[in-house]
Amino acid sequence: MGQTLTEKILSRVMQRPVSAGETIYPEPDLVTVHDWYVVNFDKALQELGVDRLYDADKVLIATDHEPIALNVLSSERQRNMRKIAQKYGIKRFFDNGRGGHGHVFPMELGYVTPGMFVLAYDTHVTNYGAVGALGIPMITEITDVLACGSVWIRIPETIRVNLTGKLPAGITMRDISQKLTVDQDAELVDYCTVEFGGPALKDISVDQRMTLCNTPLEIGAKSAIVEPDQVVLDWLSPRVSRKIELVKSDRDAHYKQVFQYDLGILEPQVAAPPRPDNVVGISAVAGTQIHQAFIGSCANGSLSDMRDAARILKGRKIDAGVRLIITPATQEIWARAAAEGLIEVFAEAGALLTAPGCGPCAGGRIGAMAPGEVSINTGTRNDPGRLGTTEGQIYLASPLTVAASAVAGRITDPRQFL
């Protein structure tokens, strides 16, 4: 019997054929850790009596949850992080102003390519599925990987989603990914890889694929991956000198379930408080007054997201009762957005730009909400407290919807601005 993409990648890593359900100890090609966890893993390793990493050359540290120190405590934390990176000989250490969001820039730099296997501290490493790599989050058990080179995983079963049709005007991949989340049975998706394929893929950019791979996590998927194709090759070829092989699922692979999903949905989708899977059509919440808006995060901080925001904001002003924060995910996206004149559009509309990274989505360290306020943003989650206060209401939507809502001061269907 054939193999799914997930089984194929893990078979290559294990140097023997493996299949879903097996428990294995695979050694990843890359290990990513984010700024906030660096001090903690160092402490955990010390407690275990480990003073050198299993393979420091595989480890990458991103400074994205707190990309700029906001007080003396965070300055100290960053200083310690630099010392720890040096102590363990971690060369791929990306400090303030280098790289940006750890779920995005390693793809830009060509560190992540099709068929790679990545283990990470942070949950949204599934973004790497955009280029056909398998990223699995381990949270604190990343310590095991740093010390011993691997940690146990049960090889996930795969749910295959064949995308068909075209995105209607005003509908983005964020709307699709949110709708997909609500249309899925969480019980079915739990511990599975969600694998995307189908005829619509040829028109779906790598930027959009990141959004697609970001959301299934919120309903319990173990990972998400897009079957890599020419779109990925074209995106990666200026970034990677080595030959790229497109690893795909076998035609006779065994899937837990296969279904088709048409991109032609009827209206923009909004995740209402208090959970990301509480998704409704925009007409159900349109008119809700907002105070804060944010475009960015690992789900929607790409160049195409910046372009979407600018399409709405060009020649318009943000409502007087709203602050709009825009965070390009990486230094590269920021530079390209500037070259295209998008940053000028944001500035003239009255938006704020913050340092590349997670933006407010990392617990509201930057641009927090006050109690009683309402936010609409493109972050990953809307649990109470995600943007600082637990006494606020958070709606999640596409960059188009967020920008339109920031202009109107109320949750607004972006199609009336296009």
Q: Which residues bind another protein (CB under 8 A)?
A: 22-23, 25, 48-52, 54, 139, 141, 143-144, 147-149, 152, 154, 186-187, 190-191, 220, 222
Token reading at 308: 């979407």
Rounded to the nearest whole angstrom, what is the least distance from the CB of residue 23 to another protein in the complex? 4
CB under 8 Å to 341, separation ≥6 — which residues?
A: none
Complex with another protein: residue 143 or 405, whichever CB lies closer: 143
Rounded to the nearest whole angstrom, what is the least distance from the CB of residue 309 to another protein in the complex? 31
Q: Are residues 292 and 402 in contact, defined by beta-carbon separation less than 8 angstroms? A: no
- Angle in degrees, 0-180, between the axes of helices 72-88 and 35-47, rounded to the nearest 10: 60
Rounded to the nearest whole angstrom, what is the least distance from the CB of residue 125 to another protein in the complex? 14
Rounded to the nearest whole angstrom, what is the least distance from the CB of residue 344 to another protein in the complex? 41
Q: Are residues 414 and 398 in contact, defined by beta-carbon separation less than 8 angstroms? A: yes
Rounded to the nearest whole angstrom, what is the least distance from the CB of residue 7 to another protein in the complex? 16
Query: Which position has the token pair 């808006």?
Result: 293
Query: Which position has the token pair 């049960």?
Result: 154
Complex with another protein: residue 191 or 417, whichever CB lies closer: 191
Complex with another protein: residue 118 or 397, whichever CB lies closer: 118
Complex with another protein: residue 131 or 151, whichever CB lies closer: 151
Distance CA 223, CA 33 (A): 17
Distance CA 129, CA 38 (A): 24
Using alpha carbons, list the distances in angstroms from residue 38 to 93, 97, 153: 11, 18, 23
* Four-residue CA torsion sign, 200, 204, 209, 215: negative
In eight-state DSSP terms, residue 263 is S
Rounded to the nearest whole angstrom, what is the least distance from the CB of residue 232 to another protein in the complex? 27
Complex with another protein: residue 56 or 69, whichever CB lies closer: 56
Complex with another protein: residue 383 or 391, whichever CB lies closer: 383
